[in-house]
């Protein structure tokens, strides 16, 4: 056992009832997986807020966006023989898959990194256009020069892909389209170019041959990507046997790029681990933790919308150069924080 | 019924016994899905040659490549309880998927477009490196300026992805890495830049939400790709209900880019259809055929390694500006040819 996370005593930092739904008639089902960054001398999170209509007794209803941006509510009788609804996250109906909730991204900020609230006059980030009609999720935020790169899961009936938006001021955003086609998630752009090239983690999934592995790609401009290579795979019989995916951008250390990732086993228990990449050739994996560095143990991690989950895609490195604060989604419902010592993480790398 | 293909009387043009295995002890199981191009005033095909060891009675054996390029034969007792081998194309063993055959790409050329033979002093194209240990397949060949772009399916235990090599003389090749990560196939680069950008079809597959659809991407350099968009989807209840994938690069006509694609239904019957894209904005689909323009009807299309398949990824446009010769894989075993009238194809577009 090697859970080396120092969880905040104030956890969970945010729960669904702490925020208002984006529109009337909706209910926030979960807060999930925040992207994290520093801006204007504050700590900011870009939270995934998953909403659904207030449910009636004999139907299941869920929202989707039209390409124009307007919301449509789909309502299905629970006894409809064409409805399959045994997964809390996905509904299958008449041969098509839908999400039970519609996610948008919402900014909260904090002076102390513990108490977060919504700032005034900043927009919600909503799904927009054809590739985001089922919402946008799990955004990583990377800063290069004066630009923030937002890489997020873009979901529509066309598939689950990776979208990119950029901003300098969190009020105006540029849409850069889908940077990885389906099925892909868990994309984080490195916060520094290496030999003039952008690098990113991403996590394609395979319908046959292959699996849910972490890949690396490079780019001349952050928008067009190539040179894909598989760098971290699932490990049979271990805590990360079913899926692995990168967290936020890796942390630059003197020994290499330190990445925190999530892994899940076949029972869908999500834990965190770490791996180290060569500073100059990030396709080269130097080391990886064998045991998780964090696993679901607290009540708010074990029980929620989808229990037994700790999942991170955002952290803040601190001035002492050893501490990082990892913000994470717990049980697919709550936003939490924990501190790690980088040196301690590195001591578990094999 | 609308099969408007004028099949060559000489079909099949090539069958497995017409070529020699690449090394002793191997047997050619199938010839498949040629890329097609003109070079040195001849018609060339780059055929996918799928080989496996001569099989013994009580075992299944199949070859894989090591990263170094050397071949290894894996041999499994047929009564091994961990072996699943009911698909002629894929073997499942101890939790991993393998291919029953190992494919390489082989050049043949012809003066008349009908009688093909292997030219002297041209290399075989073999899988190379970490992402191609299970072989390379179904190559599209596109010519831009004086460079041929070879986009092919690169298969390894890491997944099924799209690799790119370029050549000017078919003797020296440059490896450009994987341009689309798993799960992806059926990539063809347009033979002309549009507003300075490269365009390509590709066919990602989704593990949940989405399907086997044709996507379009663009690129500043042919190597790094972005702006992914889904353009052609499967159609419930029709001949292309289960999967669609692009053939070769589209044909430029005055009305738009004419693309020939394959579709399959849930019974794995593969037919050909066509769609038309806007000349200046190829993300815009102007029309699509409802019925197939070609379907498996001949004995060599109905019966073979995998029957009921016509599949194309190569064609030659002719000087009369109306005729194209489509080369195609039949029943995943034979190489065939057929002529189409472009005008006749277009008359079926809806």
Cα dihedral A303, A269, A162, B256 sign:
negative
Q: Return the half-sphere exposure (C-beta side, CA atoms, 13 A cut-off) of residue B45.
A: 32
Alpha carbon B197 to chain centroid, angstroms: 24
**pLDDT at residue B80, as a whole number:** 95
Cα A252-A253-A258 angle, rounded to 5 deg: 65
Q: Distance (Å) from the C-alpha of residue A174 to the closest C-alpha of chain B?
A: 13
Place of tokens 């990449």: A277
CB-based contact A270:A264 (threshold 8 Å): yes
**Alpha-carbon gap, residue B272 to B344, rounded angstroms:** 14
Interface contact flag, B179 A206, Cβ < 8 Å: no
The ipTM (two decimal places) reads 0.96
Query: Which phi-psi region, left, alpha or beta, contains residue B138 (left: φ > 0; alpha: ψ -120 to 50)?
Result: left
Instruction: List the strands of the sheet with B173-180, edge to edge.
Output: B136-144, B147-156, B159-167, B173-180
Q: CB B52: neighbour CB atoms within 10 A?
A: 20
Cα–Cα distance, B284 to A287 (Å, whole number): 46
Exposed, middle or buried: residue B90 (CB in 10 Å: 0-12, 13-18, 19+)? middle
Chain B CB within 8 Å of residue A246 CB: no
Entry pTM? 0.97
- Rounded Cα–Cα distance for residues A307 and B177 (Å): 40
pLDDT class of B1 with cuts at 50, 70, 90: low
CATH fold label, B6-347 = Tachylectin-2; Chain A (2.115.10)
The predicted structure's pLDDT at residue A88: 84
Sign of torsion, CA A80 A82 A85 A91?
A: negative
Mutate to test the interface with A, among B133, B149, B158, B214 (most CBs of A within 10 A): B158
B341 Cα distance to chain centroid:
22
Q: What percent of chain B has pLDDT over 70?
A: 100
Kindly report the backbone phi and psi dihedral angles of residue A301, in degrees, each rounded to the nearest multiple of 5, phi listed first: -95, -30
DSSP class of residue B213?
Answer: -
- Tell me how far apart the alpha carbons of residues A95 and A74 are, in angstroms, rounded to a whole number: 15
CB A160 within 8 A of CB A183: yes
Q: pLDDT band at B136, cuts 50/70/90?
A: very high
**CB distance B220–A224 less than 8 Å?**
yes
Q: How far is CA A74 from CA A62, A80, A98, B344, in A?
A: 5, 13, 10, 42
Q: In this structure, are residues A249 and A188 in contact, taking their beta carbons and an 8 Å threshold?
A: yes
**Closest alpha carbon to A104 in A145, A62, A152:** A152
CB atoms within 10 A of CB B74: 14
Q: Token pair for residue A76?
A: 């299905």
pLDDT number for residue B2: 82
Taking CB atoms and an 8 Å limit, are A204 and B215 in contact across chains? no
Q: Is residue A203 within 8 Å of A185, Cβ to Cβ?
A: yes
Instruction: Please tell me the predicted confidence (pLDDT) of residue B319.
Output: 82
Counting every residue written for chain B, the total comes to 350
Residues on chain B touching A183 (C-beta within 8 angstroms)? 183, 204-208, 210
Q: What is the pLDDT of residue A1?
A: 58
pLDDT at B322 over 80: yes
Give kind and range of the element (H or E) at residue A343.
Answer: helix A342-347
Rounded Cα gap, residues B270 and B247, in angstroms: 12
B200-242 pLDDT, tens digit per residue, is 999 999 988 999 999 999 999 999 999 999 999 999 999 999 9
In angstroms, how far is the first alpha carbon of chain A from the final one? 15
What average pLDDT score do residues B43-55 get? 96
Judge whether B86 is closer than 8 Å to chain A, CB to CB. no
Return all residues near A299 (Cβ < 8 A) that are at least 6 apart.
none
Q: Which residues of B touch A204 (CB under 8 A)?
A: 159, 181-183
B226 and A229: CB-CB below 8 Å?
Answer: no
Q: How far is CA A336 from the centre of its chain?
A: 14
B336 contacts: CB under 8 Å, gap ≥ 6: B7, B8, B11, B12, B13, B300, B301, B310, B327, B328, B329, B330
- Of A226, A270, A245, A232, nearest to A183 by C-alpha is A245
Say whether A230 and B159 touch across the interface (CB within 8 A): yes
In terms of Cα–Cα distance, which of A16, A109, A6 is closest to A337? A6
pLDDT band, residue B95 (cuts 50/70/90)? confident
Chain B interface includes A158 (CB < 8 A): yes
Kind plus residue range of the DSSP H or E element containing B346 = helix B342-347
- What DSSP letter does each residue of A225-287 carry, written as one string? BEEEEEEE---TTSTTSSEEEE-SSPEEETTEEEEEEEEE-TT--EEEEEEEE-SS-TTSEEE
User: What does the pLDDT read at residue A257?
Assistant: 98
Chain A positions touching B160 (Cβ under 8 A) are 206, 208-210
Give the minimum alpha-carbon distance from A1 to chain B in angstroms, rounded to a whole number. 27
Longest Cα separation, chain B: 59
Comparing alpha-carbon positions, the chain B residue that sits nearest to A94 is B236
Instruction: Pick the residue of A151, A156, A209, A234 with the most B CBs within 10 A to test the interface with B by mutation.
Output: A209
Q: What is the pLDDT of residue A69?
A: 84
CA nearest neighbour of B142 among B295, B257, B11, B7: B257
Question: pLDDT by residue for chain A (350 residues), tens digit each?
Answer: 589 999 999 999 999 999 999 999 999 999 999 999 999 999 999 999 999 999 999 999 999 999 888 999 999 999 999 999 888 889 999 888 899 999 999 999 999 999 999 999 999 999 999 999 999 999 999 999 999 999 999 999 999 999 999 999 999 999 999 999 999 999 999 999 999 999 999 999 998 899 999 999 999 999 999 999 999 999 999 999 999 999 999 999 999 999 999 999 999 999 999 999 999 999 999 999 999 999 999 999 999 999 999 999 999 998 888 999 999 999 999 999 999 999 999 999 99
The β-bridge partners of A104 are A49
In chain A, domain spans: 6-347
Contact B206 A155 (CB under 8 A): no
Mean pLDDT over each residue of chain B, to the nearest integer: 96
Helices (H), B195-334: 299-302
Contact between residue B306 and residue B88 where contact means Cβ atoms under 8 Å apart: yes
Neighbours of A140 (CB within 10 A): 28
> How far does the CA of residue A154 sit from the closest CA of chain B (Å)?
12
Q: A31 - beta bridge partners?
A: A49
Q: Which distant-in-sequence residues (6+ apart) come within 8 Å of A169 by Cβ?
A: none
Residue B89 backbone phi and psi in degrees, to 5: -105, -30
According to the model, what pLDDT value does residue A129 have? 95
* Residue B88, pLDDT above cutoff 90: no
């Amino acid at each position: 056992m090697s859970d080396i996370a120092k969880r905040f005593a104030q956890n969970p930092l945010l729960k669904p009832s702490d925020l208002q739904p984006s529109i009337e008639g909706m209910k926030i089902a979960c807060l999930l997986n925040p992207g994290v960054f520093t801006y204007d001398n504050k700590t900011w999170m870009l939270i995934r807020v998953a909403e659904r209509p207030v449910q009636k007794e004999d139907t299941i209803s869920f929202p989707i966006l039209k390409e124009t941006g307007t919301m449509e509510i789909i309502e299905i009788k629970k006894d409809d023989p064409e409805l399959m609804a045994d997964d809390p996250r996905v509904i299958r109906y008449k041969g098509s898959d839908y999400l039970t909730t519609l996610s948008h991204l919402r900014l909260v900020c904090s002076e102390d990194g513990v108490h977060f609230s919504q700032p005034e006059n900043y927009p919600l980030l909503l799904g927009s256009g054809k590739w985001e009609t089922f919402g946008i999720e799990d955004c990583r935020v990377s800063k290069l020069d004066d630009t923030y790169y937002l890489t997020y899961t873009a979901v529509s009936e066309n598939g689950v892909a990776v979208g990119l938006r950029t901003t300098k001021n969190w009020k105006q955003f540029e849409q850069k389209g889908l940077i990885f086609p389906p099925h892909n998630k868990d994309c984080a752009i490195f916060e520094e170019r290496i030999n003039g090239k952008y690098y990113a983690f991403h996590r394609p999934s395979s319908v046959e041959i292959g699996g849910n592995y972490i890949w690396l790609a490079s780019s001349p401009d952050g928008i067009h990507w190539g040179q894909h290579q598989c760098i971290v795979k699932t490990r049979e019989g271990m805590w990360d046997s079913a899926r692995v995916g990168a967290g936020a951008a890796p942390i630059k250390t003197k020994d290499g790029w330190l990445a925190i990732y999530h892994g899940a086993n076949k029972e869908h228990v999500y834990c965190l681990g770490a791996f180290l990449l060569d500073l100059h050739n990030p396709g080269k994996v130097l080391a990886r933790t064998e045991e998780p560095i964090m696993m679901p143990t607290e009540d708010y991690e074990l029980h929620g919308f989808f229990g037994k989950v700790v999942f991170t895609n955002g952290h803040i490195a601190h001035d002492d150069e050893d501490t990082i604060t990892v913000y994470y989604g717990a049980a697919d419902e709550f936003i939490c924080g924990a501190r790690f010592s980088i040196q301690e993480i590195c001591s578990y790398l094999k």
